[in-house]
Amino acid sequence: MSTPVTGPAWIEHSIWWQVYPLGFVGAFPSETPPGPGDHRLRRLVDWFDHAIALGASGVALGPIFDSRTHGYDTTDHFRIDPRLGDDDDFDHLVEQARQRGLRVLLDGVFNHVGVDFPRRGDPASSEWFSGRNFEGHDELIALNHRHPPVADYVVDVMSHWLERGADGWRLDAAYTVPQRFWAEVLPRVRDRHPGAWFVGELIHGDYAAVVEAARFDSATQYELWKAIWSSLNDGNFFELDWALQRHNAFLETFVPQTFIGNHDVTRIASRLDHPAHPAHALVILLTIGGVPSIYAGDEFGFRGVKEERYGGDDAVRPEFPSPPIPLDESGAEVWALHQYLVGLRRRHPWLHRATTSAVLLENAHYVYETRNGQDALLVALNNDDEPLRLSLPKLGRAQARLVAGSTAPPEEVVDNLEIEPHGWRILVPDSGP
């Protein structure tokens, strides 16, 4: 068995703010697509101070390369999408990110290309394509990953943008690409850029085995994402605990990218049935092991439902105005909670590889300890319409210090506590720091 890939040291402190650029700047969908002279990529820079205020350490970008429509039908991986701008705009974005200490993650679509990909019309290049489309989409043509020039091309693309200042790659639809292809490509890129980070988009399957075989640093934790909202909606914390035990096993060999929202799923505020539960989901995200990401807009409580139809992603990929966004009382509360919990995460970087164990597990009540060595937090979630009364001594904890909660004052030392219906608490146990 090969040595597990764990990623560069900087990833241990990373919290991503994820953006879908084409939608964010109003370039797609658009009745009149903008041209490079609009320099719309620079609109993202206007939001970098917001990312800093959130507490993020990096910006994870969706597709920014030349394409016909939504960015995942790439035409030229070496060219910035003209609807976003040009190379100078990318250089400006990287420079401004660096000035603020922000990392930049790019989105690489290397499983398939769009029908306008130039090599498709070259008879001498027929071996570049597998003859299949991607998941039934005729406009997305699958690459032939057995063809050595395809591997060379992907190595060159990744290296080109890492040399231009990117810090890593999200590998779109990585689950459909042969693992041997990634295992050939990624070590070649790492040889040139040992500080880069690579996260594969995985939906299901044996994450740990795929990460090892493909030589990824990380993988998207869709299994845990589903368990978070499903357990809250169904009143079944046993599902969440089962997923967290699986998550613990993954953390033995790699650190997954964790999330409760992204550009491909219904927003968490729309997914959850109870208005108090997006807070529970955020608490879970930021108190467990992983590399967390916040999808732009979720920190304001944005809503949006993804639908399985043409244009069905548009509701979760809206255009953003210039900052700041005016917030009502509810939005301001969501923003403040994100700032506080992201800040808590930043103050406890040991959470990167922390594992969890159930202290109390019932359908509507879940108390778990998240721990890394001598460092620990105690998290209590009440998913019931009745208050939850806890005696810490009966749970094996003499006392604990409250650091956050839906209503509780922080810094109070308690040995018993009552959590209001659909409330939550975060505590430092007496054995913690």
- Do the Cβ atoms of 131 and 67 come closer than 8 Å? no
- Whether omega before 409 lies within 30 degrees of 0, making that bond cis, reads no
Q: Which pLDDT tens digits describe the chain residue by residue (433 residues)?
A: 344 457 899 999 999 999 999 999 999 998 888 998 999 999 999 999 999 999 999 999 999 999 999 999 999 999 999 999 999 999 999 999 999 999 999 999 999 999 888 865 555 577 898 877 666 567 889 999 999 999 999 999 999 999 999 999 999 999 999 999 999 999 999 999 999 999 999 999 999 999 999 999 999 999 999 999 999 999 999 999 999 999 999 999 999 999 999 999 999 999 999 999 999 999 999 999 999 999 999 999 999 999 988 889 999 999 999 999 999 999 999 999 999 999 999 999 999 999 999 999 999 999 999 999 999 999 999 999 999 999 999 999 889 999 999 987 778 899 999 999 999 999 999 754 3
Task: Tell me which residue of 394, 397, 393, 361 sits closest to 378, measured CA to CA.
Answer: 397
Q: Cα(129)–Cα(394) distance, rounded to whole angstroms?
A: 63
The dihedral built from the CA positions of residue 47, 99, 344 and 354, taken in this order, carries a sign that is: positive
- Do the Cβ atoms of 424 and 279 come closer than 8 Å? yes
At 382, list the tokens. 């009440």
Q: Cα(104)–Cα(110) distance, rounded to whole angstroms?
A: 19
122-to-113, 129, 149, 155, 419 alpha-carbon distances in Å: 15, 11, 14, 21, 66
Highest CATH level, class, for 9-353: alpha beta
Tell me how many degrees the CA angle 181-185-190 measures, rounded to the nearest 5. Answer: 150
At 248, list the tokens. 């613990």
- Do the Cβ atoms of 90 and 66 come closer than 8 Å? no
pLDDT of residue 410: 76
> Strands 424-429, 168-171: parallel, antiparallel or unpaired by DSSP?
unpaired
Radius of gyration of the chain (CA): 22
| Residues, the chain | 433
Question: Do 9-353 and 356-429 show the same overall fold?
Answer: no
Tell me how far the alpha carbon of residue 339 is from its chain's centroid: 17
pLDDT of residue 137: 66
Task: Tell me which residue of 125, 157, 161 sits closest to 141, measured CA to CA.
Answer: 125
pLDDT of residue 139: 81
Q: Cα(136)–Cα(143) distance, rounded to whole angstroms?
A: 15
- Do the Cβ atoms of 357 and 378 come closer than 8 Å? no
> Strands 197-200, 291-295: parallel, antiparallel or unpaired by DSSP?
unpaired
State the residue for tokens 């999200």. 170
pLDDT of residue 374: 95
Q: Cα(225)–Cα(241) distance, rounded to whole angstroms?
A: 12
pLDDT of residue 124: 56
pLDDT of residue 431: 55
Q: Cα(86)–Cα(104) distance, rounded to whole angstroms?
A: 17
Q: What residues have CB less than 8 Å from 235, skipping those under 6 apart? A: 363, 364, 383, 384
Q: Mind listing the pLDDT tens digit for each residue in 364-399? A: 999 999 999 999 999 999 999 999 999 999 999 889
Q: Cα(185)–Cα(195) distance, rounded to whole angstroms?
A: 16
CB atoms within 10 A of CB 415: 14
pLDDT of residue 308: 87
pLDDT of residue 271: 98
CATH of domain 356-429: 2.60.40.1180
Q: Where are the domains of the chain?
A: 9-353, 356-429
